[in-house]
Structure 1
Amino acid sequence: MLMTGRVLRFDEVRGYGFIAPDEGGEDVFMHANDLLDDKYLYGEGCQVEFLLEMGEKGPKGSEIRLLAPAPRGSTAGAQASSRIAAGEFRTELTEALIEAVPTLTAAQLRQVRGCVVELTRARGWLT
């Protein structure tokens, strides 16, 4: 059954959270594998649409789609506004790495920086 609701909480690291259905009733479990949009977009207060299923432990959402972003001041909204351009981040990261570990070779620096940049892109922290 297709339903709508608001995200009560979502832990990006653990990959799960809960939705309060608009129709009321029991909170619905949500898992990152069931999200149709990037997981960093889902935060407290986001309005979502989902298919309601019964899981082993109770109601579970699947095919969860973002309908409206989190209200201003929420975790997801703050995260989106703190994004920076990839080039700016790469420059700041390079300076921080050189200052922290001056013995890094250029090859090591590129390797570490590449790994960190990919991680931040995957998390949606770069524009």
Structure 2
Amino acid sequence: MRTGRIVQFDEARGFGFITPDQGGEDVFVHVNLLGNDRWLLAPGVAVEFESTEGERGPKALAVRVLRSDTNQVNGGVVPSVAPAVSRPATSGNADDSDELCDVLQEQAFLGEITEVLLTSTPDLSAGQVVKLRREILNLARRHGWVEDD
């Protein structure tokens, strides 16, 4: 079994994509594979899965939500994340040295970025979402907006 995280899931259409932890191409997942876990899927949720090569690329054969990485909230789940920490902003301007900004753990930051990308531009491909997240995370690291997990 491999592990990964849901990067996109469209409840209306009944499918989504898993980004493997080991790297490689995103894996297509259909709602019929999930049984009762289908309502637990959201971007950032950790899963365990088996996959095969389909006509259009990798597709999941079996998927299981890793509940140890999630918290129950209002009947659904959200990924476990560390709380934000406030510290002085580091924009380089002397005038704003008293301002504070939220510094998130990298996984929490990626979860929020994924949600923004998917809700603001739902027609992005999973590959585009992954590339954008990577570039935005690099920007956040350079500015000190995130901390290592």
TM-score, length of structure 2 as denominator length: 0.45
The reply on whether 1:67 has 2:57 as its aligned counterpart is no
1:80 partner letter: G
- Offset at residue 13 of structure 1 (A): 1.1
Query: Radius of gyration: which is bigger?
Result: 1
* More strand by percentage: 2
**Mapped contact 1:46–1:69 kept (Cα < 8 A):** no
Q: 1:80 and 1:6 mapped to 2: Cα distance?
A: 16
The reply on whether 1:23 has 2:22 as its aligned counterpart is yes
Q: 2:29 and 2:69 mapped to 1: Cα distance?
A: 16
What is the correspondence of 1:48-127 to structure 2 with a 5 Å cutoff? Answer: 48-68=47-67, 80=76
Q: 2:54 and 2:62 mapped to 1: Cα distance?
A: 14
> Which runs of no fewer than 5 residues in structure 2 stay unpaired?
78-149
Which residue number in structure 2 is paired with residue 100 of structure 1?
A: none
Pair 1:19–1:77, CA change in 2 (3 A): farther
Count of residue correspondences: 77
- Offset at residue 27 of structure 1 (A): 0.5
Which residue number in structure 2 is paired with residue 39 of structure 1?
A: 38
Q: CA-atom RMSD, angstroms?
A: 2.4
Pair 1:29–1:36, CA change in 2 (3 A): same
- Offset at residue 36 of structure 1 (A): 4.0
**Mapped contact 1:6–1:46 kept (Cα < 8 A):** yes
**Percent identical:** 45
Q: 2:6 and 2:73 mapped to 1: Cα distance?
A: 13
